[in-house]
């Protein structure tokens, strides 16, 4: 079955099925993200979770990914990328079903710790999914179409995220506390299942797939002939120019994620927002992501993915500065709308920037190291973010994190 929601008149016929399924995949992922994922930390906060416990929800996955990223990259290398990514997504997303009955089984603290444990278990299949999906995207989308597909995926995600976050906010306002969250967890689990269905239909293309047995004459040979731990860990990658990309992206992710554990604390305890307020703010944010994504392809082609990533990261500091100054729900709505434009650019550009720096014949190992630095950033931000907020106060912490975003953006431009 062919899906033609988006115009693809300029796309060769052989690519259209992949592109359509990638758009549907991210659309259903937007349903999951706008409901279950979007309100998870808010739910935990209303259950009485501390900043540390909210941080642990992300830290558990990061810990697992740090240990499994390299083995996952090796595992992906020896398998059909599409099938490996699909089954990893299925095993990972089954975990969302277990969120639904938690209010029937545990009290408040029991639910918080159950969510943390589930996050740990779900992280095991999440690791090959994270490594493999970027490789699958590169294999399924020719380089000349990646900006177009990434921009359209951003638009699609923004639409479904925006709509479902509004619906989720209305549900949470209408239904009692725990039943309302069970409904949006169920909606999210359905979205996760449909996303995996479309991942199954994304097929790597012959001309973009790596050919490990036939190294390119004009590319550097892979340095995996020596035996031992250095070969197994692919430490040779850190002797290539990709090292600077890894370090720059680590700073980017760290600066981007540091405020994540304190957002729900600030929304609920400082701004006194209700669930429907957060839903409306999220919808406005992704409305601006939608509008910004329509300009991503043109912007990326004009300035290049590296410059868009660097300047966009520095610009995202404005969201934190404005949030620190916000005092009521209307200011929160305004800054939510403004904050999405730069995020749309960065979110579309940084993956393409990274893929441009990776040899086509050696993607899984490079992406495994990217997964490691991403999860070091997740782990560090999950644990350090709440500590900084407790030591300096929520407002000062947001300002500090904004300055770090500016510094990380400049680092990408100079050294990335």
**Separation between Cα atoms, residue 236 and residue 368, nearest integer Å:** 13
Is 34 inside a domain boundary? yes
pLDDT at residue 230 in the model: 53
Closest by CA position to 248, among listed 69, 70, 413, 66:
413
pLDDT at residue 6 in the model: 55
**Separation between Cα atoms, residue 35 and residue 29, nearest integer Å:** 10
User: Torsions phi, psi of 271, nearest 5?
Assistant: -95, -10
230 Cα distance to chain centroid: 29
For position 193, which CATH number holds?
1.20.1250.20
**Separation between Cα atoms, residue 270 and residue 264, nearest integer Å:** 9
Per the model's pLDDT, the better-predicted residue between 235 and 241 turns out to be 241
Residues with Cβ within 8 Å of 238's Cβ and at least 6 positions away in sequence, in order, are 246, 369
Is 96 inside a domain boundary? yes
Per the model's pLDDT, the better-predicted residue between 382 and 391 turns out to be 391
pLDDT (average), residues 288-297: 82
**Separation between Cα atoms, residue 23 and residue 48, nearest integer Å:** 37
> What 8-state DSSP symbol labels residue 226?
S
pLDDT (average), residues 117-133: 90
Is 259 inside a domain boundary? yes
Q: What is the pLDDT of residues 46-103, one digit of tens each?
A: 899 887 888 888 788 888 888 887 788 778 877 788 888 999 999 999 999 999 999 9
How many domains does the structure of the chain reveal?
Answer: 1
Is 113 inside a domain boundary? yes
pLDDT (average), residues 14-33: 90
Residue span of the structural domain in which 267 resides: 13-204+238-415
Is 211 inside a domain boundary? no
pTM for this predicted structure: 0.71
Is 399 inside a domain boundary? yes
Closest by CA position to 157, among listed 17, 265, 43, 6:
6
Q: What is the pLDDT of residues 194-239, one digit of tens each?
A: 999 999 999 887 544 443 333 333 333 333 434 454 555 677 888 8
Is 364 inside a domain boundary? yes
pLDDT at residue 211 in the model: 36
Tokens of 29: 């992922």
Tokens of 234: 């692919």
Tokens of 4: 């033609």
Is 60 inside a domain boundary? yes
């Amino acid at each position: 079955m062919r899906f033609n929601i988006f115009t693809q008149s300029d796309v060769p016929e052989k690519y259209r099925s992949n592109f359509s399924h990638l758009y549907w995949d991210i659309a259903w992922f937007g349903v999951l993200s706008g409901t279950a994922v979007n309100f998870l930390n808010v739910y935990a906060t209303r259950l009485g979770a501390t900043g540390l416990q909210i941080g642990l929800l992300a830290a558990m996955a990061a810990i697992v990914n740090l240990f499994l990223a390299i083995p996952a990259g090796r595992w992906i290398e020896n398998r059909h990328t599409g099938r490996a990514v699909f089954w990893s997504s299925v095993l990972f997303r089954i975990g969302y079903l277990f969120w639904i009955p938690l209010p029937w089984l545990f009290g408040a603290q029991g639910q918080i710790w159950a969510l943390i444990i589930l996050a740990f278990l779900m992280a095991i299949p999440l690791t090959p999914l994270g490594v493999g999906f970027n490789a699958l995207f590169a294999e399924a989308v020719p380089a000349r179409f990646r900006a177009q597909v990434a921009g359209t995926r951003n638009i699609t995600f923004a639409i479904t995220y925006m709509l479902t976050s509004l619906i989720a906010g209305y549900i949470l306002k209408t239904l009692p506390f725990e039943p309302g969250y069970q409904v949006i967890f169920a909606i999210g689990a359905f979205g996760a299942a449909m996303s995996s269905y479309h991942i199954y239909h994304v097929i790597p293309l012959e001309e973009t797939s790596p050919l490990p047995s036939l190294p390119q004459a004009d590319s550097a040979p892979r340095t995996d002939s020596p035996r031992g731990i250095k070969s197994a860990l692919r430490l040779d990658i850190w002797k290539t120019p990709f090292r600077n990309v890894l370090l720059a992206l680590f700073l980017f992710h760290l600066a981007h994620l540091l405020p994540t554990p304190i957002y729900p604390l600030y929304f609920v305890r400082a701004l006194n927002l209700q669930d429907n307020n957060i839903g409306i703010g999220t919808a406005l944010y992704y409305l601006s992501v939608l509008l910004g994504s329509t300009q991503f392809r043109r912007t990326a082609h004009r300035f290049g993915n590296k410059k868009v990533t660097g300047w966009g990261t520095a610009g995202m500091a404005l969201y934190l500065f404005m949030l620190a100054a916000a005092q009521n729900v209307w200011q929160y709505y305004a800054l939510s709308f403004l904050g999405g434009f730069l995020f749309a650019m960065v979110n579309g550009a940084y993956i393409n920037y990274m893929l441009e720096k990776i040899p086509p014949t050696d993607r899984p190992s490079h992406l495994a190291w990217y997964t490691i630095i991403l999860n070091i950033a997740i782990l560090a931000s999950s644990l350090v973010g709440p500590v900084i907020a407790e030591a300096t106060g929520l407002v000062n912490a947001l300002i500090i994190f904004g300055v770090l975003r500016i510094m990380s953006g400049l680092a990408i431009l100079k050294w990335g």
